[in-house]
Chain A
Amino acid sequence: MTEGDATRPSDHMDAPAPAPQSKVQQPRLNLAGYARFFWRQLTSMRTALFLLLLLAVAAIPGSLVPQITSDPNGVIAYRTNYPDTAAVLDFFQVFNTYTSVWFSSIYLLLFISLIGCVLPRTKHHFDALRASPPKTPARLSRLQGFTTRTTEADVDTTIASARRLLRSQRYRTELYGDSVSAERGYLRETGNLVFHAALVGVLVTVGIGGGFGYTGQRVVVEGYAFSNSLASYDSFNPGRFFTDEALDPYTVALDSFEPVYEQNNRQAIGQAIDFTANVTTTVRGEEPQQSQIKVNEPLSLSGTNLYLLGNGYAPVLTVRDADEKVIWSQPTPCLPFDANLGSTCVIKIPDGLDQQIGMLGFLYPTTGTLSSGALASVYPDLISPVLTLEVYEGDLGLDNGQGSNAYALNTDSLEQVAGRTSEAETLRLTPGDRLELPNDLGSVELTSIPRFVSLDVHHDPSQLPVLLFSVLLFAGLITSLFVPRRRMWVSARTDASGTTTIEYAALARGDDPNLEAAVTDFAEKHSQQLGVRVDS
């Protein structure tokens, strides 16, 4: 590594050592001079290193504090629990660390540095690919792996055969007088450049490609369907460049959902082993098709992927008014709160009865009793289900124009009419049961308990390009780290007695563990080809 490599950053190990500078003589810098100075600093190895380490440190806070994108509920909880700290964190965008101004600045600077570093090297490398290997150094004996052999053959034959052998080992060669100069391993630098360029590729495709995508969430109950249109999603996150036309209006019907739970292993009774959603999909202009969605096995449907991310129960309640007229009969997805799918259900019935009523339910798919007497679910499958309902009447607060959370019951303007704090007891239903509502409001029946799944629909055009760039990146990395780049020289000289002495030596460019062995091997092979007299 004695030789400088002009296009590497000036503080790269392989670059020529800086000439000692005296402070006094430094020329005054004009604006262009400052710009050049600044650019040189930005594209130096030291800056790249500093920015890399800074990026690593800057990523830490986002792992300590919940992030809005990956853990929105965590952020809400944090804000309620530590309002003061949260205000400070908000100021520094810590809940959005990875899109924050400071985090983005670091990686953007890093990538500018990267591009500034890689572009000139790429140009230089193209030139190097066409240039011939450098002149043979005057004294090979100073270089690594230096070794000599002697032969009867004359110099020309010796050098010609050395060149042939070098070429067969995929060296690029050039004759200089009575010597041959050879270089191989250009792929090492190519790999390095491909690696760094692919990093840029990943960043750019994530940034741009992601903007055209969208993700939507939707809860679907067995026997029901949803269509891929804005209106039918429960929540929807469009990318920056999203337009409605991106949605291909297919429909997906959930025919059945089949969970499998552990039954034998006593350490893990009730643990989920397998989830299968059987669906029928209909893409515009095509026949309906039956498919499955499983965890780890999303379904691809006209440019989107459908993921199975959650499941639970959605009991169907039938509510009749005092005149036996059915005013409500539909499934209500309940939110599981424990591993055995004990769930909370919120049912709001704004119209049809004398009063608006709200019901707060607890569903136990397999019901057991705790020592306290309270009910609990002891197994997630539907074996001995019980649904308890507390009933409220009054104003549900649906008409005030504010969107309300379907999974929460605001009891501010409601009065409990059945439940712990009222005279009437909590209603307790098993499937098929029908009970009277208090105050002659009517009746409620637990008709059936189908299951629901929550599906995520993703369209992400960046996926494939990111994967391709990652593969390039990986290939470039391996090439760059493991292909040895080396120069080798063979020179020959005949003395008065007619004996030719051959000298071999090499120079590593970058880490090259096998350099010396490579020279010895080569000398061995070469002298064997020539027919050697003495081995020195």
Chain B
Amino acid sequence: MTETFVSYSLIAVYSAMAIYTLAFVMFAVDLARRSAESSDASAARATGLASASAQQASVMVNGSSVGGTDTLTTAGASESKIVAHSPKSLKLAMAMTVLAWVLHVGAVIFRGVAANRVPWANMFEFTLTATALIVGVFLIVQFWQDLRFLGSFITGFVLIALGVGTSSFYVDVVPLPPALQSAWLVIHVFVASLSTGFFALAASLSIVQLMQARREAGKALKLRFLDTLPAADRLETLAYRLTVVGFVMWTFTLIAGAVWAERAWGRYWGWDTKEVWTFIIWTLYAGYIHARATRGWRGSRSAWLAIVGFLAIVFNFTVVNLFFKGLHAYSGL
């Protein structure tokens, strides 16, 4: 029985990867479309048809909601032209992401059923589940803000992670060692993975923010799709709000981890390598929050901190798990 479910899980995840690939391509096509349209817009401006500034265009993009039609209230003729093209590539990309995600979640569930426990007890399973959560956060956040333009970042990242996960981290279903048999496995690891979802999204926003800031500073950046995206300070606000949610979860992870460590290892904090890196990441993000409140640090500098924070998370998950010695020897490899 176990083997059947394991193979269902693998089939589902491979299919999801195939569809994520298509979604990634469509998101890229959408960025190309944005570039093209922003040139149209500047052409329109040049002929004096209307006053479509990139600024206004971006305001408009902010205002649109998921799947909703982009309605304009203050824009002139050329803006309507920008949005009159229904972004088919974008809708298609989103639809494929949703489809892939459903399969992806299916893979997670089958894995859990096969193992008869939560499917996040070794590196392969963490990868599978955490990436599903990253995409899940990406999809759900759309109800709050239109962040579809991050699609290529997110699907790209998730594809790489799943590629490495299925090829290099794969392990068979084995029972949990006694130290992992705890309700804290369910809570602590789940919340940690969920927070990476928020941090991933925030980091991609910060990357776009840095690009946008360069463009706004007049540096030549040949990425015209940036014209259609929100302004840098708007991107920063969004990144900040997502980071803060991630940070609260990370704080919880840290505290819950300490409580669990007390149960399992007899002390709540012992500077085990994994504990050290969880602390480093926490401190980096606390730094980010401070930076945002420090004159001279808001803007690109704090964006770099958010990116470094996310790199530390990836590092913690890969290099620390695989090559650093410690009590958290649960990669299963």
Chain A residues in contact with chain B, CB under 8 A? 11-15, 17, 45-46, 48-49, 52-53, 55-56, 59-60, 62-64, 66-67, 69-71, 74, 97-98, 206, 215, 262, 265, 267-268, 271-275, 294-298, 305, 307, 309, 456, 458, 460, 463, 466-467, 470-471, 473-474, 477-478, 481, 511, 513
Contact B273 A63 (CB under 8 A): yes
What are the residues of chain A within 8 A of B296 when measuring CB–CB? 11, 46
Instruction: Given the known inter-chain contacts A11-B295, A46-B296, please indicate yes or no for A458 contacting B267, CB distance below 8 A.
Output: yes
Contact A49 B290 (CB under 8 A): yes
Q: Does B165 contact A (CB under 8 A)?
A: no
Give 9 nearest A-B pairs by CB, closest first: A268-B174, A295-B178, A307-B266, A267-B172, A45-B294, A56-B283, A63-B276, A52-B287, A63-B273
Nearest CB of chain A from residue B301's CB, rounded to whole Å: 10
Q: Does B179 contact A (CB under 8 A)?
A: yes
Report Cα–Cα, A474/B263, bound state, in Å: 21
Report Cα–Cα, A52/B271, bound state, in Å: 18
Contact B248 A481 (CB under 8 A): yes
Closest Cβ neighbor of B244 among chain A residues = A481
Contact A477 B271 (CB under 8 A): no
Most chain A beta carbons < 10 A, residue from B174, B240, B298: B174
Chain B residues in contact with chain A, CB under 8 A? 2, 172-179, 181-182, 237, 240-241, 244, 247-248, 251-252, 255, 258-259, 262-273, 276-277, 279-280, 283-284, 286-287, 290-298, 305, 320, 324-327
Closest Cβ neighbor of B174 among chain A residues = A268
What are the residues of chain B within 8 A of A474 when measuring CB–CB? 248, 251-252, 255
Instruction: Given the known inter-chain contacts A67-B271, A71-B325, A273-B178, please indicate yes or no for A297 contacting B266, CB distance below 8 A.
Output: no
Contact A15 B295 (CB under 8 A): yes
Instruction: Given the known inter-chain contacts A296-B263, A470-B258, A511-B241, please indicate yes or no for A267 contacting B173, CB distance below 8 A.
Output: yes
The 13 listed contacts between A and B (C-beta, < 8 Å) are: A49-B291, A60-B276, A62-B271, A215-B266, A294-B178, A296-B263, A305-B266, A456-B266, A466-B268, A470-B255, A474-B251, A511-B237, A513-B237
Closest Cβ neighbor of B327 among chain A residues = A70
Closest Cβ neighbor of B316 among chain A residues = A63
Report Cα–Cα, A48/B291, bound state, in Å: 9
Closest Cβ neighbor of B183 among chain A residues = A296
What are the residues of chain B within 8 A of A52 when measuring CB–CB? 283, 286-287, 290
Contact A48 B266 (CB under 8 A): no
Contact B266 A296 (CB under 8 A): no
Report Cα–Cα, A268/B173, bound state, in Å: 8
Contact B272 A273 (CB under 8 A): no
Report Cα–Cα, A421/B326, bound state, in Å: 38
What are the residues of chain A within 8 A of B268 when measuring CB–CB? 463, 466
Report Cα–Cα, A470/B254, bound state, in Å: 10
Nearest CB of chain B from residue A395's CB, rounded to whole Å: 37
Nearest CB of chain A from residue B251's CB, rounded to whole Å: 6
